[in-house]
Structure 1
Amino acid sequence: MEPDPAERGTGEPGPTEWGTTVGVGPWEGPWPTHDRFDPELLEHGDQRNVVDHYRYWRREAIVADLDERRHDFEIAIENFQHDHNIGTVVRTANAFAARAVHIVGRRRWNRRGAMVTDRYQHVHHQPDLASLRRHADEHGLAVVGVDNAPGARPIERAALPRRCVLLFGQEGPGLAGHSREHSDLVVSIAQFGSTRSINAGVAAGIVMHTWIEQHADPDRAW
């Protein structure tokens, strides 16, 4: 029996940045007729960094399908100094199916670290923290600031709200001084070495995965 086109490739090694071959070649056999498939990819192959489930799919179809899978947390990243870590945070937000990403401050951001995952993610611009707070209030989201500062609650002991915006600062200065005024909760990450802080992109991954551990269904992971 011919496998369902949407499941073609399931069980085979997924894409990787380190391997010599990424993706799949032209479609073999009769083409699928569903409009989720991209004729150009079917003809020439799909070399994108996507999970096998989405091989040969149009980008718009992937986004629509992800919209059915996204979780109840959003990400906000302060961009007052054009932080190069923003792309990494966006990429991680895509991996954990964040509902949306907000760039707070400067509209332009360094997309290199995103590895084009921003094409599949809803990315919005908020000119300042007050506008982010209004967005959160309008959508019933708690704002959770992340910063290793006095008074922050250790994330290892904190219950993260299911519906929330996780707010991250920039590499170096961390959250802006007035970010706490717009946060309902501020959490910190336990550290045991000599450095004052960890990389902002790494911190974002830790906090997002903590939300996943507390609220997500691991059986729905790829």
Structure 2
Amino acid sequence: MKKFDKKNKGKEIKSERETVERENIIEGRNPVIEAIKSGRTIEKLYVSKGDLEGSIKMIISLARERGIVVNEVERKRLDDMSTTKAHQGVIAVVGEYKYYDLEDILNLAREKGEDPFIIILDEIEDPHNLGSIIRSANIFGAHGVIIPKRRSALVTATVAKASAGAIEYTKIAKVTNLNQVIKELKENGIWVAALDMDGEICYNKDLRGPLAVVIGSEGRGVSRLVKENCDFVVKIPMFGEISSLNASVAAGVIMYEVRKQRGIKGE
């Protein structure tokens, strides 16, 4: 029988609390600026003493306008709090990230009068990739990103930093079963495409209309069952010696192709 160790148990509890706190922080100047602008609940804001110029000055001004208390601390304290190791002299402790439902994403498309454009991530475990994909989803006008509850990176400080603040404006849904979500999307008249190497070249496929695109994990790609439940499979053609793209780069390419086919109306 395993012995109950009170001493170690206390350490484990402390570790769990620290993990939760790290998931409730945003680091870096752009992510913090976007969090304040978007109206995200900021519980505490820390800035490095003696580093009050440029965008840090803007952050302090925005915070004070919204009644957020600014704490000037030694840079060493920020270094100790940081999980990204790239806090740029500012860390915000925020309320827990509010995940959305699939219906929230569909409603956004309806409100905009647009065909739904949704990104589904099949076990993207690298937080940098998740953040980059969320950033691209925002830039290319996707209405939301869907991630599974298990075997996936979640919204943390690293994801917020990699997204450059896009987590504040992009609806992210966390779901139990991707295959069930794909079924619901189909019932709502949305085509579901998997991005995988055995598909049709994406440039030759009509990607207009209601569409969800599944991006597979960094090492395994789209899982077999998920791919079988998709309506069709597309691929990005490769012209060099390397036969695969980083997941976030592949996501950016396919999102741009969807936006191009729908008509680019941006700047």
TM-score bracket, normalised by the shorter chain, equals: 0.5 to 0.7
Once the two structures are superposed, the pairs formed by residues 58-137 of structure 1 within 5 Å of their partners are 68=112, 72-79=116-123, 82-84=125-127, 85-106=129-150, 108-109=153-154, 111=159, 112-137=161-186
Q: Which of 134, 141, 148 is the equivalent residue of 2:190?
A: 141
Q: Higher strand share goes to which structure?
A: 2
CA distance in 2, matches of 1:72, 1:199: 25
Q: Which of 61, 65, 70 is the equivalent residue of 1:40?
A: 65
Give the match for residue 209 of structure 1.
256
- In structure 2, what residue type is equivalent to 1:213? K
CA distance in 2, matches of 1:188, 1:23: 43
Question: Aligned in 2, Cα 1:212/1:82: closer, same or farther, shift over 3 Å?
Answer: same
Deviations, residues 117-162 of structure 1 (Å, cap 9, x unaligned):
111111111222222212312322110110112xx10012111142
Aligned residues: 172
CA distance in 2, matches of 1:21, 1:68: 36
Deviation at 1:190, TM superposition (A): 0.5
Deviations, residues 67-112 of structure 1 (Å, cap 9, x unaligned):
6487631111112x62331111111101112111100352652524
- In structure 2, what residue type is equivalent to 1:128? N
Give the match for residue 229 of structure 2.
182
Deviation at 1:24, TM superposition (A): 8.7
Question: Aligned in 2, Cα 1:23/1:157: closer, same or farther, shift over 3 Å?
Answer: farther
Deviations, residues 158-184 of structure 1 (Å, cap 9, x unaligned):
111421101100112111122221111
- In structure 1, what residue type is equivalent to 2:126? D
Question: Aligned in 2, Cα 1:206/1:22: closer, same or farther, shift over 3 Å?
Answer: farther
Asked if 1:166 corresponds to 2:209, the answer is no
RMSD in angstroms over aligned alpha carbons? 3.5
Question: Aligned in 2, Cα 1:69/1:87: closer, same or farther, shift over 3 Å?
Answer: farther
Residues 70, 99 of structure 1: 8 Å contact kept: no
User: TM-score, with normalisation over the residues of structure 1?
Assistant: 0.65
CA distance in 2, matches of 1:24, 1:214: 41
CA distance in 1, matches of 2:228, 2:174: 20
CA distance in 2, matches of 1:148, 1:202: 15
CA distance in 2, matches of 1:39, 1:70: 37
Residues 135, 163 of structure 2: 8 Å contact kept: yes
Question: Aligned in 2, Cα 1:42/1:166: closer, same or farther, shift over 3 Å?
Answer: same
Moved >4 Å (runs of 4+)? 20-26
Question: Aligned in 2, Cα 1:21/1:176: closer, same or farther, shift over 3 Å?
Answer: farther
Question: Aligned in 2, Cα 1:109/1:92: closer, same or farther, shift over 3 Å?
Answer: same
SS of alignment partner, residue 162 of structure 1: coil
- In structure 2, what residue type is equivalent to 1:130? N
Which blocks of at least 5 consecutive residues in structure 2 are unaligned?
Answer: 1-28, 32-52, 69-107
Residues 104, 132 of structure 1: 8 Å contact kept: no
User: TM-score, with normalisation over the residues of structure 2?
Assistant: 0.55
CA distance in 2, matches of 1:216, 1:22: 35
